[in-house]
Structure 1
Amino acid sequence: MKHTFYQVFKKPFFGRFMKPWRWPEGIEQSQWQPRHVTSESGATLSTLMALAHTSTAKGAVLMVHPMGTIAKGFWLKHGHAELLRQAGYHVMVFDLNGFGESTSTTMDYPLDVLAAGDLLQAEFPDLPIAVLGASMGASMSVCAMSHATHPFKAAVIEAAFPTLLHFWSRYPIPKLGIQFSKLLYPKGERSLRPSLAAQNLVGSPEMLLIYGDDDIYTPIKDGKLLFNELQKKTATQFWQVKNAKHTLAYSAQPEQYATKVVSFLDDHLASKTNHSFTQHNAF
């Protein structure tokens, strides 16, 4: 009954994006190994993992997708996953519940991020773990890092909204749904509020925030609101990307993005590696 309610409640928000998942064109599927993990949201999450292309790995990165029918395929299609693998990082992509191949349950998306992060850490227990998220995935990753058990040592957060209403206020029905949720289930709404999670951040993971100056959905001013909260709790960088639309910083400035993101991960993950790690047959 609970899940049925949420499936109805989700439709104005995500209904048009919850479609059967397909592999992006041109991706070598044999390099990606499927895994499934159960989230405390009640969902069975679909994940794909791939090893770094280098002989040793610096760490592992969980990639949390934005809204879209492509779901976890976003990171494969736009090249982020390959960038990190070439740079020496194992990667895992996954579908948030209700998207792609994952089952649909509640809107407790931070719990999905935690479940996937724990799975990645279990696969590579000797390596530090980071999270890279975009839009919805970025926002839910910030919320996940307010949980005491999160495994993340660093985070790259692109186009995160500070609150649900900052993103959804331009859409009348979702806006109304959020306003009702604040009255009927305030705890649930608060659990999905990145600006509040920033105040309760656990473990002080270093943050790189990325916002495009052509982003009409999560504009620079919204990013600054979240930045102001995060920097009170941890070392936080803010990168404003020229000519970048929503979630497309890598496409807009590929060389700068590669340098900025890989350098950030190298600084804050590679330094935390417990010992030299040689690739093994993890899959």
Structure 2
Amino acid sequence: MQNALYKIFKKPFFGRFSKPWRWPESVDQAQWTRLNLKSQSGADISALIALAHTPSAKGAILMVHPMGVIAKGFWMKYGHAEILREAGYHVMVFDLNGFGESTSTTMDFPLDVLAAGQELKKLHPDLPVAVFGASMGAAMSVCAMAYRGHPFKAAILESAFPTLLHFWSRYPIPKLGIQLSKLVCPAGELRLRPTEAAKNLVGNPATLLIYGEADEFTPVKDGLLLQKALDGQARTLFWQVPNAAHTHAFAASPEEYKSRVVDFLDTYLLRA
């Protein structure tokens, strides 16, 4: 019954993304290993793992996708996963509940991030683990880092919204749903509010925030709000990318993107 109610509530937010998942074209499926795991959200989570291209790995990175039918395939399609693998990092991509091949349950997406991160750490116990999120995935990663037991020593967060309303206020029905949830279930809304989670980060993970100057969904000013919330809780770097649209800073500035992301991980994850 509970899942049926959540399915109705989630439809205005994510209904258009509920389509069969397909591998992105040009991806060598043989390089990826399937994994299924259970989240405390109640969902069965679908994940894929690929090893570093180097003889030995420096660390392992969990990649948390933005909204979209492509879900976990975002990181493969646009080349982010290959950047990390070439730099010496194992990667795991996965579908948040209700996206891609994962089952749909509650709105507790941070628990999906937590479960996937803990599983990645189990698979590579001797390596430091970081989280790399975009848009919704970045926001939910911040929230996941407020939970004890998360394994993340560093975080790269691109286009993260500071609160749900900052992103959804332009959409009347989702906006109303969030406003009602703040009245009916205020604790639930707080669990999904990155600026609140930022005050309670566990472990002080170093954080790289990336925002595009051409991003109409999570503008730079929203990123500055999140940075302010993170100040004092984590060492935070901020990169404002000229001409970059929402979640597409890599496309706008590929060489600098590679350099900044890899240098950040090599410096802050390996030092952790």
**Same fold flag (TM > 0.5):** yes
Aligned position for 1:237? 237
Amino acid at match of 1:22: R
Amino acid at match of 1:2: Q
Structure 2 counterparts to residues 1-283 of structure 1, below 5 A: 1-272=1-272
Q: Aligned-pair RMSD on alpha carbons?
A: 0.5
Distance in 2 between the 1:237 and 1:156 partners? 10
Report the TM-score, using the length of structure 2 for normalisation. Answer: 0.99
Distance in 2 between the 1:271 and 1:221 partners? 30
Cα deviation, 1:162-209, whole Å, max 9, x if unaligned, reads: 000000000000000000000000010000000000001110000000
Q: How many residues align?
A: 272
Cα deviation, 1:64-118, whole Å, max 9, x if unaligned, reads: 0000000000000000001100000000000000000000000000000000001
Amino acid at match of 1:47: A
Cα deviation, 1:240-273, whole Å, max 9, x if unaligned, reads: 001100000011100000000000000012234x
Distance in 2 between the 1:250 and 1:223 partners? 17
Amino acid at match of 2:97: N
Report the TM-score, using the length of structure 1 for normalisation. Answer: 0.95
Cα deviation, 1:121-172, whole Å, max 9, x if unaligned, reads: 0000000000000000000000000001110000000000000000000000
Amino acid at match of 1:194: P
Amino acid at match of 1:19: K
Aligned position for 1:280? none
Structure 2 residue runs without a partner (length 5+): none
Shift >4 Å, 4+ stretches: none
- 1:271 is paired with a residue of what secondary structure? coil
Distance in 1 between the 2:55 and 2:241 partners? 32
Percent identity over paired residues: 67
Amino acid at match of 1:85: R
- 2:271 is paired with a residue of what secondary structure? helix
Distance in 2 between the 1:152 and 1:191 partners? 18
